Amino acid sequence: MQRLPTATTAGAGIVATALLVALLLVSVLPGASGGDAGPPLGGRKMGFAGETAGVLARYFNKGANVEAAAAPPGRAPAPPPPAVAGTPAQFRGQPLLPRFATPRRYDLRIRPDLVACTFSGTAAVAVAVSAPTRFLVLNAADLSVDSASIRFRDLAPKEVVFFDDDEILVLGFSKDLPLGEGVLSMKFNGTLNDQMRGFYRSKYQYKGKMKNMAVTQFESVDARRCFPCWDEPAFKARFKLTLEVPVGMVALSNMPIANQTVAGPIKTVRYVESPLMSTYLVAIVVGLLEYIEGVTPEGTKVRVYTQVGKSNQGKFALDVGIKSLHLYKDYFGTPYPLPKLDMVAIPDFAAGAMENYGLVTFREVALLFDEESSAESSKQSIAITVAHELAHQWFGNLVTMEWWTHLWLNEGFATWMSNLAVDSFFPQWNIWTQFLDDTTAGLKLDSLAESHPIEVEIHHASEVDEIFDAISYDKGASVIRMLQNYLGAERFQKALASYIRKFAYSNAKTEDLWAVLEEKSGEPVKNMMTTWTKQQGYPVINAKLQGNYLELEQAQFLLDGSSGPGMWIVPITVGCGSYYTQKKFLLKGKSHRLDIRDIASQCGNQEKGGDFWIKLNINQTGFYRVQYDDKLAAALENALQAKKLSVMDKIGIVEDSLALSIACKQTLTSLLRLLYAYRGEADYSVLSHINTVSLSIAKISVDATPGLVGDIKQLLIKLLLPPAVKLGWDPKDGESHLDSLLRPVLLVALVKLGHDKTINEGVRRFSIFVHDRNTSLLPPDTRKAAYLAAMQNVTTSYRSAYNDLLKVYTVSDEAEERGRVLSTLCYCKDKNIVLESLNLLFTNEFRKQDAYYVLQGLSMETRDTAWVWLKGNWDLMAKKYGDTQEGSFIRYVTTLFTSNEKAAEFSRFFATRKKPEFQRTLKQSLENIWISARWIQGIKSEPRLAQTVQELLRRP
């Protein structure tokens, strides 16, 4: 699943609960003995007695495959689970379903009513009972199950109990069930909800009328909202679906249509039975759609489905999809497993995209590219998203994580693979340099005490959604890049292909991947990578020059300035004066001493001025930061000015410096001096990072140095203006893709920094655009800057530009343009306009999925208005948007503040509104406020900051 552009280990209370559950299980589960089937509760031992942990592991039996014939080679079959007696209540509060009964095959018949927005269905599930029990325990939520219809081997249950908090259905029978396979059948019905999860409705216009579309989104734990099921990744089964839909509707599922019949107004569509797959990958789409199609070199039919009239916008995605399937077939050494692949643009969609097996669903903006209204950046985003989801067809769908603890095996690899694929298709885009955006996002989140390991323990289904974050995706992808760089591309690829073949159609955990990589490479992969996946955080490598020796020491880096206890096996790369000779080694302990004369001749003579420099983490392939002593830092700055460093290293140096400044390990004064060394830079990726660092400095200076904030902004404008002037507002014939990406980045930054000339030009072009939508003066790439500029002059009494923007939103039917408008409506100094924009969130003027666009426009100037609004409307917001979006409201509003007092106010407000769905986000947001408050105090104590700003402003 592709998350949207953005947003801890479990607390002691959860550990205590797990311990209590373990002790209870020891007392109620007879026959609990035998071998351990795998680490309990998501892969990490929790400190309770080994015997108790073994009982948990055997009870949940996570390592056992649900179909013996599909058990991966080399893995011993799991022992049979213990017999279970007792009452239905014993199954409450468990992180996983019991393994004494497992599904083998689902036969589902579902009939959606697109007018009433309801659905009904029947399920016949082949279930294998492997231990004496009188219970069947499965997941169901927001469904009405007809208790009288339930049968297992013609037996009616004595008890039918729903536990809503755990979203489980417990069927209790009067006697032990026969061992072996039998069919569980039942009838059920539900509502096509408006929450964009489970089986839900999406709205679209057709011939001027609003229509409903039925869509599924099951990841992570929402298949249970469509049909009763064993809704965990390890319960792989085969699925045979039948849909009953209105004649004239397109009905799609994972597999091709086997046959269809028509009776009156209803069309019955039967699909080919699927291979083994997890419930979260099942998919259904029903609506009025059209498509374009192509075929891979291997003969697989690929289609892009859209609303009627938009299929032409799917051409670019179709091309990338066909190329991706072909590339992955070769890279993984395994053909695409299904006979077809459909990609569907969904008008209402919570995530960016979802990798359902054979039926991939997307937000419209993530799949459709329109030459007239789409920005150049959208083309790149679409390519990455399509490649990401199709990588999942192997990494995630064919080989699936055992439990959500191993989510990163899906998302980290798909993120990394998508960059590999797009770099192959579009080498001129320099994707691996841009990948450092992902690495930076991972480093930022993982420098919080409230971060979490890559392998995070999941104790309850309600916790899963919060780990679809920069750790699972960006850190996961970054440590894969680090490992590939250490092992070498060829060895790494061959090992991955072996892993895919070994675990195809089954489940795997992180240790399985390490075992294969270690076997194929002969390197200590498990020992090294365990330090990166099972503990949170990462190191900062402190580098100090003592004579001819480079002394290195690692410590866990935290943005709050403290040093954590973490220790890593770190792949170190060192260059000295040149990129031609490098030193590579593993830092296995806390410190290391390196004779720099062994690296290169330039290091033998440290008096050569600009020829001497030492750079660690060459091209930023490692997931760590570096802090240099003063001499090494000065030499690097000289090398930077002399253009001796690679683009990736330029990015790494400034990003490390910003992080060290926030942590008060370096001064803002030194960071500004370093930034000035980038004056004259022209590369898109470098300037993109310089831009981000500049806006961070501008933001913190509002509270840290209010008297100096104007001069600091002028200094940052001085840095960003020359490349912006060179590019101008108008695209040039034949200009590069990267120049097209850079222009809006610089123009938006200059508007936000208050550059009058840029704002005035933006207002001028917007005025022309309002009267002539086809003008060449405001193409899609530069509209955001012009919209922001126009909003700068909006007030309650002078709101014509605001009204014009609302009209642009209303008349546009392109998701990208509508999002562009929404993201600017709150960027205004007038609090009444901001309130009016926020209140749009409670109207039906836009789709729920787009709420985060509106929140993106909030600024420091109107943060108090936003907080008062959020407090006053929290209950209404929570009701309308549900559990899955509350975290976004918290993150976008609270992190505008920088004082401990405000953090305390937020804590008090949310103390009585806690939910597991956003607890991690809340804690991280509060920690970011505390970090900003500490940074401000450090900045206020810098004696030379004002003098340095004036000095740099005077420089030519």
Q: Where along the chain do its domains lie?
A: 100-278, 396-534
For 721, counting Cβ atoms within 10 Å of its Cβ (0-12 exposed, 13-18 middle, 19+ buried), the class is middle
Q: Which of 309, 112, 105 is nearest to 202 (CA)?
A: 112
Rg value, the chain, Cα: 28
Give the mean model confidence (pLDDT) for residues 925-952: 97
Mean pLDDT of 922-934: 97
Higher pLDDT, 17 or 690: 690
**Among the listed ranges 48-57, 669-678, 746-755, 780-789, which one has the minimum average pLDDT value?**
48-57
What integer is the mean pLDDT of 725-744?
Answer: 96
- C-alpha neighbours within 13 Å on the C-beta side of residue 41: 25
pLDDT of amino acid 580: 86
Tens of pLDDT, residue by residue over 759-789, are 999 999 999 999 999 999 999 999 999 999 9
Q: Which two three-digit tokens encode residue 539?
A: 């190191």
Catalytic residue among 355, 364, 389, 518, which? 389
Model pTM score: 0.90
Q: How far apart are CA 557 and CA 565, in angstroms?
A: 10
* Residue 746 to residue 382: CA distance in whole angstroms: 22
Q: Is the pLDDT of residue 704 over 70?
A: yes
One-letter identity of residue 833: I
pLDDT for 85: 64
* 100-278 to CATH, choices 1.10.3720.10, 3.40.50.150, 2.60.40.1730, 2.130.10.10: 2.60.40.1730
pLDDT given at position 41 = 25
Task: For tokens 């479990």, name the residue.
Answer: 10
Nearest residue to 444 via CA among 548, 537, 579? 537
CA distance 705 to 721: 23
Interval 570-582: pLDDT, tens: 999 999 988 888 8
pLDDT tens string 627-641:
999 999 999 999 999
What is the percent of the chain where pLDDT is above 90?
Answer: 83
Q: Which residues are annotated as a binding site for Zn(2+)?
A: 388, 392, 411
DSSP symbols for 149-205: G-EETTBPPSEEEEETTTTEEEEE-SSPPPSEEEEEEEEEEEE-BSSSSEEEEEEEE
Structure tokens given for 171: 């069927």
pLDDT of residue 579: 87
Question: What value does the mean pLDDT take over residues 790-802?
Answer: 95
The enclosing H or E element of 576 equals strand 570-576
Tokens 């991947």 locate to 513
Q: Tell me the mean pLDDT in the region 888-914.
A: 95
Instruction: Report how far Cα 461 is from the mean position of its chain's Cα atoms.
Output: 18
Rounded Cα gap, residues 323 and 382, in angstroms: 14
Question: Cis peptide before 925, with omega less than 30 degrees from 0?
Answer: no
Inter-residue contact 62 to 96 (CB < 8 Å): yes
Closest CA to 712 of 699, 728, 731: 699
pLDDT level of residue 3 (50, 70, 90 thresholds): confident
> Taking the domain 396-534, which CATH number applies?
1.10.390.10
The overall average pLDDT reported for the chain is 90
What secondary structure letter does DSSP report for 861? G
Report the pLDDT value the prediction gives residue 2, as an integer from 0 to 100. Answer: 81
- Residue 877 backbone dihedrals phi, psi, to 5 degrees: -65, -45
Q: Nearest to residue 825, comparing CAs of 860, 790, 798?
A: 790
Residue 112's pLDDT band, with cuts at 50, 70 and 90, is very high
On whether the CB atoms of residues 853 and 840 are closer than 8 A, the answer is no
Write out pLDDT tens, residues 218-272: 999 999 999 999 999 999 999 999 999 999 999 999 999 999 999 999 999 999 9
Q: Three-class SS of residue 259?
A: strand
* Three-state secondary structure readout of 603-663: HHCCCCHHHCCEEECHHHCCCCEEEECHHHHHHHHHHHHCCCCCHHHHHHHHHHHHHHHHC
Q: How far is CA 536 from CA 489, 558, 716, 862, in A?
A: 26, 11, 34, 35
Which of 321-335, 482-496, 552-566, 835-849 shows the lowest mean pLDDT across its residues? 835-849
Contact 346, 319 (CB under 8 A): no
Rounded to whole angstroms, the Cα distance separating 82 from 132 reads 8
d(CA 668, CA 715): 13
pLDDT digits (tens, 9 = 90+) for 123-136: 999 999 999 999 99
**DSSP character string of 833-896:** HHHHHHHGGGSSSS-GGGHHHHHHT--GGGHHHHHHHHHHHHHHHHHHH-TTTHHHHHHHHHTT
Residue 389 bears catalytic tag: yes
The whole-number pLDDT of residue 844 equals 85
Read off the tokens for 216. 């599924």
- Of the ranges 19-33, 272-286, 875-889, which is most confident? 272-286
pLDDT at 14: 33
Q: Examine the pLDDT at 22 and tell me if it is beyond 50.
A: no
Q: Which residues of 301-323 are buried (b: 16+ CB within 10 A; e: fewer)?
A: ebbbbbbeebbebbebbbbbbbb
pLDDT of residue 607: 52
